[in-house]
Amino acid sequence: MTVAVLAAWLAASSQNYRSPKGDTILRGPYGELVSVGLEDVPSGAPAGCLPLFTLAPGYVPTWGEPQGQPRRADRAQHVAWLAGAGWGFPAVVTVAAGQSMRQACTAACIDPDGDIVGIPEAAF
């Protein structure tokens, strides 16, 4: 149940692929991990991008265009579903505008000391 498992899944889900005729189908990032502090209020992201806020250090987004990916709301819901489906993803909290990660964890009754990922409420 680590952020590293989610990071590996995001990388695999963001790879280009080939059509049946051999053409390259471009795919942008499925979502991007963004390191934030527990008391920080996460900032926004460019249109269409899915920020996944984590307390784990070292994740800096590139904000690549998510071309070839499903709608942002569908991607947010899918990540949340996978977190509860036993894929080894960290717990997911919904982060409202102006809310810190600690506030989001408290609202969701989730321990902020564990592995967690915050998804902006607006993404849903």
Residue-range domain boundaries for the chain: 3-13+27-123
Arithmetic mean of pLDDT, 44-49: 89
pLDDT, mean of residues 34-49: 92
H helix or E strand, kind and range, residue 17: strand 17-18
Cα angle for residues 87, 75, 95 (degrees, 5° grid): 90
What is the mean predicted confidence (pLDDT) over 30-51?
A: 93
pLDDT at residue number 86: 82
Sheet holding 116-120, edge to edge: 32-35, 51-54, 116-120, 91-95
The structure tokens listed for 117 are: 């990922």
Q: What is the pLDDT of residue 1?
A: 54
Q: Is the Cβ–Cβ distance between 113 and 49 less than 8 Å? A: no
Place of tokens 């810190």: 100
Half-sphere exposure of 6 (CA within 13 A, CB side): 32
- Banded pLDDT at 88 (limits 50, 70, 90): confident
pLDDT recorded at residue 16 = 92
Looking at residue 95, its pLDDT comes to 96
